[in-house]
Homo-oligomer: A and B are copies of this chain.
């Protein structure tokens, strides 16, 4: 049997199973009239946002496709590139769209199910998360397979090696489309969600002293919409992009490593194996009706571990049969990625969950006010970067040398790429545990706004808190895989340049030494980019939040009877402000990400670009972890206080912790996760523009 057929097969199974789960979720009831009304409002806001976003982004895609078309016309690129770019963007966007659809339909259903028991709530929420996870991997494999088979057919008369090169080159462009879409979705969604959240909290919780998700707060629907467009649609597009990015970059490295078509088979079939293992894993996420939170967390983890174990077993036979005994080291590279991913997830949890010391100690510092909890939170985030860096370092070293990098350098690079694929192979189920968080968060909001019994809110809070932990774990996983993928992409960039040089008989040889000033300067500029990017996205959140603050204050002031619950706030205006702001604000950061490699390339040449990519990957990795973990820890330190420690809700400690949480919001949900995409998009753009840069740079 042609093992590559596993890829389309896995894709179909994933999509079919996602359809089945979605059907099952939709069959459950949305609860009371009030709940239905609120859910409909959230849905409507999210739809309106995505519609506007996709319209705006479509313009960008058309412009980029035209630019790529011109470059293709000038022979800098193959003619498929513009189309591959468009499909990548389309499927990435579609992943986010479907995820958002199911999430906005599952929120009220989760709240309603939580009226029965905690476990029922978990099952609805987790199922909707699983739909999203499986759609992402299913669509990823679908798009990859379609392009692969089409190009196999198109280049059927070309020599094997050249054909594979053409295929992988086109597929990398497809990755650039996915990355661009992901960037817009993450940045735009991230700005939307955090502007609404920060704005709602600042006026509602801090100034007016009303609880979170109180229906009197005009920004509360926008906040719930934000969870869906940022944490669901944005994350879906993001991980879609990581997923295909790791597969296409590894495939692209197969040629130089001398593995030929077998080297392309491995990442794609590995991914298919991961899909099947993830589906099996979801069946293990269940527990008794009366389960406690810790039991639920164990249930979620069990699913991931079982999927991981399955992958570890199957991939041994896969590597053995496709590449043979002499390349069994590739298997160990897969394992190092798989284990690395799980370890990063664990340590992320350690640093951000309030069941462990670091976050508990962070909450202690709230007793001396907001300044100390801010200092300690930033410090915690910075400190927490050490372990993931060491884990990635070991994974890189192990996968490089175990797959034979000492004797065949390119084989080592392929090993690094495949370790990223290994890390991401559990994505179907990891993403499920992650994407369920925003659904639970929304369910809590709906419970509050619908005045359900306090017991229900308690249950949704437990789900939400669990969701915070899995979200943090998921973020660690996303960042770790982004770093490995970015490294594989840098290697792919080098390969691509060398292919062009060879094809066009150019006189050029890389000098990638860190002492080469072009590389060195590239490192500096690349190292600065994540900071610049984080600043731009945070600033954007700040500006948008400021607008929400003004609007909420205005409504509190002008709408008579609002605070007494006698009048309705104008929810739609807040949704509208966030939508407009997100659309406007996402443009500048996106342009930076796309323009940087081209500008640096024109000045410093491909050596400089390689340096820039390395610098951005290193700093971006560290900064993204720091921002995600600081944010996660602040959030949970606040929850820890709300659980009754240090004076509980309403105390000065709590107020200080809310400041920490508010600062953490753009850290963990806007800037941090956007950096993941940034570092990959930079590489993708560099690869697509490699020929252009080679021909047009000042310093060669």
**A513 cross-chain contacts in B, Cβ below 8 A:** 510, 512-513
Within A192-237, which residues are at the interface with B (CB < 8 Å)?
Answer: 198, 202, 206
Chain B residues whose CB sits within 8 angstroms of the CB of A512 once the complex forms: 513-515
Residue A365 contacts which of B365, B400, B542 (CB distance < 8 angstroms)? Answer: B542
Contact of A534 among B371, B372, B382, B483 (CB under 8 A): B382
Q: Does A279 contact B (CB under 8 A)?
A: no
Closest residue of B by beta carbon distance from A409: B515
Binds B, one of A6-14, A145-153, A439-447, A487-495: A487-495
Residues in chain B near residue A77, CB distance under 8 A = none
Is A602's beta carbon under 8 Å from chain B? no
From B385, B393, B519, B532, A531 is in contact (CB under 8 Å) with: B385
Is A392 engaged at the interface, CB distance under 8 Å to the other chain? yes
A517-B368 contact in complex given A532-B383, A538-B379, C-beta closer than 8 Å: no
Q: How far, in angstroms, from A610 to B523 measured CA to CA in the complex?
A: 13
Check: A40 CB closer than 8 A to any chain B CB.
Answer: no
Q: How many residues of A contact B (CB 8 A)?
A: 79
**Main DSSP-derived SS at the A contact region:** helix
Given known pairs A383-B536, A539-B383, the reply for A520 and B663 (CB within 8 Å) is no
Type the 1/0 row for A360-396, where 1 means its CB is closer than 8 Å to any CB of B: 0000010011111011101111110110011011001
Chain B residues with Cβ below 8 Å from A389 are: 524-525, 527-528
Contact with B along A470-483 (1 / 0, CB 8 A): 00000000000001
Residue numbers in B under 8 Å from A528 (CB-CB)? 385-386, 389, 622
Say whether A264 faces chain B, with CB atoms less than 8 Å apart.
Answer: no
Does A686 make an interface contact (CB < 8 A)?
Answer: no
Asked whether any CB of chain B lies closer than 8 Å to the CB of A413, the reply is yes
Contacts of A379 in B (CB 8 A): 534-535, 538-539, 542
Q: Which of these binds chain B: A308-316, A341-349, A426-434, A612-620?
A: A612-620
Chain B residues lying within 8 Å of A569, measured Cβ to Cβ, are none
* Chain B residues in 8 Å Cβ range of A491: 515
Q: A618-B615, A626-B531 are in contact. Are A369 and B542 (CB under 8 A)?
A: no
In Å, the complex CA distance between A521 and B545 comes to 39
A412 within 8 A of B: yes
Point out the residues of chain B lying under 8 angstroms from A274, CB to CB. none
User: Quick check: A514 and B517 within 8 Å, CB to CB?
Assistant: no
Q: Indicate which residue in B393, B532, B541 contacts A382 across the interface (CB closer than 8 Å).
A: B532
**A536 smallest CB distance to B (angstroms):** 7
Contact: B369 with A659, CB < 8 Å?
A: yes
Q: Please measure, in the bound complex, the distance between the C-alpha atom of A569 and the C-alpha atom of B413, giving whole angstroms.
A: 65
Report B-chain residues with C-beta under 8 Å of the C-beta of A385.
528, 531-532
Q: Closest B residue to A199 by CB, please name it.
A: B368
Beta-carbon contacts of A381-421 to B below 8 Å, as 1s and 0s?
11101100110110011001100010001001100100000
* Chain B residues whose C-beta falls within 8 Å of the C-beta of A376 in the assembled complex: 538-539, 542
Closest-by-CB residue of B relative to A546 is B368
User: What per-residue 1/0 map shows which CB atoms of A623-635 lie under 8 Å from chain B?
Assistant: 0001000000000
Complex formed: what's the CA distance from A662 to B517 in Å?
39
Q: Which of A202, A380, A393, A519 has the most chain B CB atoms inside 10 A of its CB?
A: A393
Q: Bound complex: CA of A413 vs CA of B520, how far in Å?
A: 12
**Residue with the highest number of chain B CB atoms closer than 10 Å, among A389, A392, A491:** A389
Task: Return A223 CB to nearest CB of chain B, in Å.
Answer: 16
> Bound complex: CA of A378 vs CA of B378, how far in Å?
11
A422 at the interface (CB under 8 A from B): no
Do A521 and B396 have beta carbons less than 8 Å apart?
yes
**How far, in whole Å, are A389 and B378 apart by their CA atoms in the complex?**
23
Q: Return the contact of A393 from the options B206, B524, B539 (Cβ within 8 A).
A: B524
Give the chain B neighbours of A519 by CB distance below 8 A. 514
Chain B positions within 8 Å of A370 at CB level: 370-371, 659
Q: Does A140 contact B (CB under 8 A)?
A: no
Is A340 positioned at the interface, with any CB of B under 8 Å from its CB? no
A392–B615 alpha-carbon span in the complex (Å):
15
Across the interface, A663 reaches (CB within 8 A) one of B375, B611, B622, B666, namely B375
* Residue A549 interfacial (CB < 8 Å): yes
A206-B659 in contact given A524-B618, A527-B622 (Cβ < 8 Å): no
A621, CB-defined interface residue at 8 Å: yes
| Bound Cα distance from A400 to B412, whole angstroms | 33
Do residues A368 and B549 form an inter-chain contact, with CB atoms below 8 A?
yes
Closest B residue, CB atoms, query A384: B535
Question: Of B490, B546, B618, which one neighbours A527 at CB under 8 angstroms?
Answer: B618
Give min CB distance, A660 to chain B, whole Å: 8
CB-based nearest B residue for A412: B517
Compute how far the CA of A355 lies from the CA of B406 in the bound complex, rounded to whole angstroms: 58
Extra pairs beyond A376-B542, A385-B528 (9, CB < 8 Å): A372-B542, A372-B545, A372-B546, A379-B534, A393-B521, A400-B517, A514-B523, A514-B610, A619-B622
23 contacts between A and B (CB under 8 A): A202-B369, A206-B369, A368-B549, A372-B546, A372-B662, A375-B666, A378-B535, A379-B534, A380-B535, A382-B531, A383-B531, A383-B536, A385-B531, A385-B532, A389-B524, A389-B525, A393-B521, A397-B517, A487-B520, A510-B513, A514-B610, A615-B618, A618-B618
7 tightest Cβ-Cβ pairs between the two chains A and B: A382-B535, A371-B662, A527-B618, A383-B535, A512-B513, A389-B528, A382-B531
